[in-house]
């Protein structure tokens, strides 16, 4: 294998190895993808101050999230269909995160079920919840997450309906892929992916198939989401769900200070400044641009994290310098998974930590507690 030096190397490799519809599901945004690009571009506009002749020995990238120390302030974000990037993808990603010492978040729309991931890991992971119209199903999901000893619940609040994702529509996204000529031609060029997929039984939405009454055909993601994502969702509904979870609760998808205030009122332990990776509302603010106003609103009342556009350890350091207490990566580790399974996710995490550590050192800091806006120009 060619030397992998950065996340971009993993992205290029994943593009070659993962079927087009699933690669573009991960690496695509809504409408014209303006917000998707802004997340990355706005981070690039932030520059560091280089310092010299400073003692930078004995460095550490460790930091606490929700009171628990991790190897760096990075969590693996919930990503749907990881099991279509690589066979048993959720299991491989969870094991890599566990080994490296960062949190893994399992998506409601995962291919491997809560139980399957729990059986293959030793430490608790986080569970992400989409609020569906079928509340009985939602509450059963929560019970299953509790049974699996999930240590935190992440509620995604920005997907009452799905943004128009042109690539997914044109590709006819479904799991498993439909037997069309275009799909079969693409799959014929990805023999390793096909072989690994044939060896696993996990090819559908493991948290949903067999757990939802009256729904037998789960081949179409768009059909399920159209029928079940709740356009009537209000903060009262979120508050009710919060009451049913005894542990830590994280709200993902906060972009406006007013929503941040409402998140505090229902008792969120952490909020994530997130625009769903530019996959929901297009032509809105990047997450790094939205972060300062959210921080001003929240203060020290709960932890504020961010995601969106984070492709390097330098991006992570910029987010921490701007005031975020933690970050989440989605596409970055998904590229590693698609490129090389569990080893690819581990490789991604090692690259990000190395970049984070080296950049922090060149800015004259030994640990992330010392990092603030003074390291930025």
> Catalytic positions, please?
276
Contact indicator for 280, 308 with CB cutoff of 8 Å: no
- Closest by alpha carbon to 109, among 214, 213, 204? 204
Contact indicator for 59, 361 with CB cutoff of 8 Å: yes
Contact indicator for 327, 307 with CB cutoff of 8 Å: yes
Token pair belonging to 190: 């990805």
Contact indicator for 156, 253 with CB cutoff of 8 Å: yes
- What is the 3 state secondary structure string of 323-355? CCCEEEECHHHHHHHHHHHHHHHHHHHHHHHHH
SS3 (DSSP) at 233: coil
The angle at the Cα of 7, spanning 176 to 274, to the nearest 5 degrees, equals 70
SS3 (DSSP) at 213: coil
CA distance readout (Å), 254 to 81, 257, 264, 293, 294? 23, 8, 11, 11, 8
From CA 230, how far away is CA 31, in angstroms rounded?
Answer: 21
């Amino acid at each position: 294998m060619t030397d992998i030096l950065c996340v971009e190397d993993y992205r290029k490799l994943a593009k070659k190895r993962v079927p087009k519809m699933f690669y573009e599901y991960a690496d695509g945004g809504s409408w014209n993808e303006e917000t998707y690009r802004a997340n990355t571009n706005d981070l690039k506009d932030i520059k560091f101050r280089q310092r010299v002749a400073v003692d930078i020995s004995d460095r550490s990238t460790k930091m606490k999230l929700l009171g628990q120390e991790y190897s760096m302030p990075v969590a693996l974000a919930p990503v749907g269909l990881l099991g279509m990037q690589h066979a048993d993808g959720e299991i491989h990603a969870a094991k890599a995160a566990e080994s490296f010492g960062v949190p893994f978040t399992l998506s409601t729309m995962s291919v491997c079920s809560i139980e399957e991931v729990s059986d293959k890991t030793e430490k608790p992971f986080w569970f992400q919840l989409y609020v569906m119209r079928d509340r009985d199903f939602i509450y059963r999901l929560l019970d299953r997450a509790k049974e699996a000893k999930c240590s935190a619940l992440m509620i995604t609040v920005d997907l009452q309906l799905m943004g128009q994702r042109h690539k997914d529509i044109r590709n006819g996204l479904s799991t498993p892929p439909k037997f069309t000529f275009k799909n079969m031609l693409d799959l014929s060029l990805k023999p390793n992916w096909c072989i690994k997929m044939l060896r696993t039984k996990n090819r559908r939405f493991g948290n949903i198939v067999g757990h939802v009454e009256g729904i037998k055909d789960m081949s179409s993601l768009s059909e399920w989401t159209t029928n079940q994502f709740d356009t009537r969702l209000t903060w009262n509904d979120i508050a009710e769900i919060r009451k049913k979870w005894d542990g830590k609760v994280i709200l993902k998808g906060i972009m406006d200070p007013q929503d941040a205030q409402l998140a505090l009122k229902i008792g969120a332990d952490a909020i994530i400044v997130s625009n769903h990776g530019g996959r929901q509302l297009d032509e809105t603010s990047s997450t790094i641009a939205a972060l300062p106003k959210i921080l001003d609103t929240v203060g020290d009342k709960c932890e504020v994290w961010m995601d969106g556009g984070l492709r390097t350890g330098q991006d992570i350091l910029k987010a921490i310098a701007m005031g975020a207490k933690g970050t989440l990566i989605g596409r970055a580790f998904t590229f590693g998974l698609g490129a090389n399974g569990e080893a690819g996710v581990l490789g991604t995490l090692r690259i990000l930590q190395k970049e984070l550590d080296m950049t922090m050192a060149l800015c004259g800091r030994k640990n992330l507690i010392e990092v603030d806006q003074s390291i930025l120009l």
